[in-house]
Amino acid sequence: MTPLENLRDFSPEAVELKLKELGQPAYRGRQVLEWAYQKSADSFSVMTDLPRELRRQLAERYSLALPEKKSEQLSSDGTRKFLFGLEDGEAIETVLIPEPGRLTLCVSTQVGCRFGCAFCLTGAHGFRRNLFPHEIVGQVVAVNRLLGESASARQLVFMGMGEPLDNFENTVIALQILTHRRGMAFPRRRITLSTAGIAPMIEKLGQEVPVNLAISLNAPDDRLRSQLMPVNKKYPIPGLLAACRRYPMQRRQWLTFEYVLIKGVNDSEEQARKLAKLLKPLKAKVNLIAMNRHPGSEYQPPSEEVELRFQRALKERGLNAFRRQSRGSDILAACGQLQGALTGKGKG
C-alpha cells in the first residue's frame, strides 16, 4: 500500500488549493491549517468543525503523522533532548533549551550529515537521508504538543543534525510553513539557520526565506578550515564571505559567525587577529563556543583563560565577540553532539 502524503509537506497556499480542488470554500482550508499548526492536530478525526465527509476524504488522501517521541533526557541545566522516531525506522534528535523568558528549539534537517566536520559527532556517523518538510516542521509541532497549553517554543535554531542547505528544497518549504501567518507564524527574526558554508545556497536562501544566518567558520584561513571542515575545499572562505555579503539583511540584523574553539588548533591570539581582519569588513558578530567533548573525539576545549584571551583579541580589533555557554552537554545535547541513536533501521 502506497503511503499517504503528509499534509505538512505542502505550503499553506498549497493546502488551501487542495481543499479548493475538493470543492470546498476558502475558509475550510484556513480551518485545516489552524488545526494542523495552531492546534497541533495529528489526525483529521479531531477537526470537529469540519463536515464528517470532508474529514473522511482528507483521511483517505493525506496523513498528519508526527515524529514519535522514543525517549527524552533532561540535562542538569534544564535542557531537554528528545529522540524522535520516523516512519521508516530512522531517528533524529531535537533539543529544547530554556532561556530567560523564552524556549528555544534546536531542530534537525537530516538523518546524519554528509559533511564530516572533524569536531562533530553527527558527521562521524555518516549520512542517511534528508528530512521531509513534515519531519522538520513536525519536530516543532510535536514538542509543542508535549509542552501542552502552558508553553511553546517561540524561537527556532536550525542547528541540529544535518546541514540545512544540503536539504535546500525541503528546508525552504519548512521555513515557509513556519513563518506563514496561517502556518506556525514565527517571525523571521526568531529563526536562525546555521550552515557549514554552501555558498550558492546561501544566496538562494536569501532570495527565498531570508531568516537569520549563522555560518560555522571555525578557522581564519583556508588551510586550517579545510582540515576541520572538508566542505571548505569546495567552497573556500573568499567565496563564502562574498555570498555572505550579498545576503539580504534588515537594518538591525547581523551575520553570525560561529567559531568552535579547539585546544591548540584554532585558539591562538594570532588566529584571533587573523579572524578579526577577515570579518571586520562585514556586519558581523562572532559566537565563540568551546569544543564540546564527545566519545571518540581527539579534540579538547581550551581553558577559560584562553577563551577570554581570544575574545579580548577580537574585541580590541572592533569585532563583536560573545562567549556562548554550551547547554545540555551532560546528555550529549550540545553543539556537535547529536547523533540520533535508535535500534532497528536507525543508527546505533
Classify domain 5-63 at the CATH topology level. Answer: DNA polymerase; domain 1 (1.10.150)
Alpha-carbon distance 262 to 334, whole Å?
15
Alpha-carbon distance 247 to 240, whole Å?
11
* Per-residue pLDDT tens digits for 317-328: 999 999 988 777
Burial of 114 (0-12, 13-18, 19+ CB in 10 A): middle
Q: Which residues pair with 98 in a beta bridge?
A: 103
Indicate the domain borders of the chain.
Answer: 5-63, 68-331
CA neighbor of 278 nearest in space, from 334, 317, 223, 324: 317
* Per-residue pLDDT tens digits for 135-169: 999 999 999 999 987 789 989 999 999 999 999 99
Stretch 256-283: mean pLDDT = 97
Residue 156: the pLDDT is 97
Burial of 139-168, coded b for 16+ CB within 10 Å and e otherwise, reads: bbbbbbeebeeeebbebbbbbbbbbbbbbb
Q: Which residues pair with 195 in a beta bridge?
A: 215
* Per-residue pLDDT tens digits for 95-124: 999 988 899 999 999 999 999 998 888 877
* Residues labelled catalytic: 93, 335
CA neighbor of 229 nearest in space, from 110, 119, 113: 119
Stretch 213-224: mean pLDDT = 98
Superfamily of domain 68-331 in CATH is Aldolase class I (3.20.20.70)
Alpha-carbon distance 197 to 176, whole Å?
21
The reply to whether 68-331 shares the fold of 5-63 is no
Three-state SS for 273?
helix
| Res. 252: pLDDT tops 60 | yes
Give the Å distances, CA to CA, from 106 to 94, 295, 325. 6, 21, 15
Intra-chain end-to-end CA distance of the chain, in Å: 29
